[in-house]
Amino acid sequence: MEKKLKGTAWKFGDNINADEACQFYKNMNIDLNDKNALAKICMTGYDPDFPNKAKEGDFIVGGKNFGSGHMHAHFYYSIKALGIRAVIAESVFHRLYREAINSGLPLIICPSTDPIKNGDPIEIEVDRGIISNERTREVIRAEVLSPILKEIIEQGGIDGYIKVKIEKL
């Protein structure tokens, strides 16, 4: 994983429901290996045009309880498929916390995402837990990812992680 991630912030509110965000019950037949189809449903429950606006390397910024409810995998697979590099939020639903890490998607948890506005250019130093807003020059201190979790993200997720560990067994 690069030390510094740069991209545009796409701002969403509190309590973003995972199934609603990817319109799960409408899209449940999309195969989890079909990246093109998955990318097209990313966050469309809240912003139908999102897959056209967001660019590879951008960030999704949520508030509290991001990814709530009975989450299905289409939610975080669609975020990855669109090329979103990290999710920034004040808190995330516990299932997403695990599945984002396990799918190699960095989660940046910070006390408040208020200083970030939609469309702001953002830089994240993942190792130090620093988010810089290049528009306002404001710096937000985020949680530093535990080395245990960083190791998983660096292998691209849990599948890569266990592959490396199995080889060493």
Partner 1 sequence: MGMTISEKILAKASGKKKVEPGDVIRAKPCFSTSHDVYTYPHWTSRLDRAGFKKLHNPDRVAIVADHFIPAMNTTWATNHKGLRSWVEKFNVKYFYYGEGISHQIMAEKGHALPGEFLASDDFECTTLGGVGCFAAGIGTSILETYALGDLWMRVPTSIKVELTGSLKKGVTTRDISQKVIGDIGDGGALYSAVEFTGPAIAEFSVDDRMSLCARIVYTGAKTGIVNPDAKAIEYARGRAKAPFDPVVSDSDAKYLRVLKYDLSVLEPLLAAPSAPVNSQPLSKCKGVHIDQAYIGSCASGRLDELRNVARILKNRRVQPHVKFIIAPPSAEILAGLSEEGLLRTFMEAGAILGAPGCGACFGSYGGVLASGEVCISTTTNNVPGRMGSPEAQIYLGSPETVAASAIEGKIADPREYL
The residues of the shown chain that bind partner 1, judged by CB under 8 A, are: 15, 19, 25, 64-65, 68-70, 91-95, 97-99, 101-103, 146, 148-149, 152, 158-163, 165-167
The torsion region of residue 135 among left (phi > 0), alpha (psi -120 to 50) and beta comes to alpha
Give me the least distance between CB of 149 and partner 1, in Å please.
Answer: 6
For 64, the token pair is 């509290």
Query: What residue type is assigned to position 138 of the chain?
Result: E
Integer Cα distance of 81 and 87 in angstroms? 13
Q: Which is nearer to partner 1, 127 or 138 (CB)?
A: 127
The residues facing 129 across adjacent strands are none
Integer Cα distance of 49 and 118 in angstroms? 14
Pairing of strands 130-133, 139-141: antiparallel
Give me the least distance between CB of 94 and partner 1, in Å please.
Answer: 5
How many CB atoms lie under 10 A from the CB of residue 13? 12
Q: Which is nearer to partner 1, 137 or 166 (CB)?
A: 166
Give me the least distance between CB of 147 and partner 1, in Å please.
Answer: 8
Integer Cα distance of 93 and 131 in angstroms? 21
Give me the least distance between CB of 29 and partner 1, in Å please.
Answer: 13
Q: Which is nearer to partner 1, 65 or 133 (CB)?
A: 65
Q: Which is nearer to partner 1, 68 or 78 (CB)?
A: 68
Give me the least distance between CB of 90 and partner 1, in Å please.
Answer: 10
Q: Which is nearer to partner 1, 7 or 157 (CB)?
A: 157
Sequence-separated (6 or more) residues with CB below 8 Å from residue 145: 106, 107, 126, 127, 129, 153
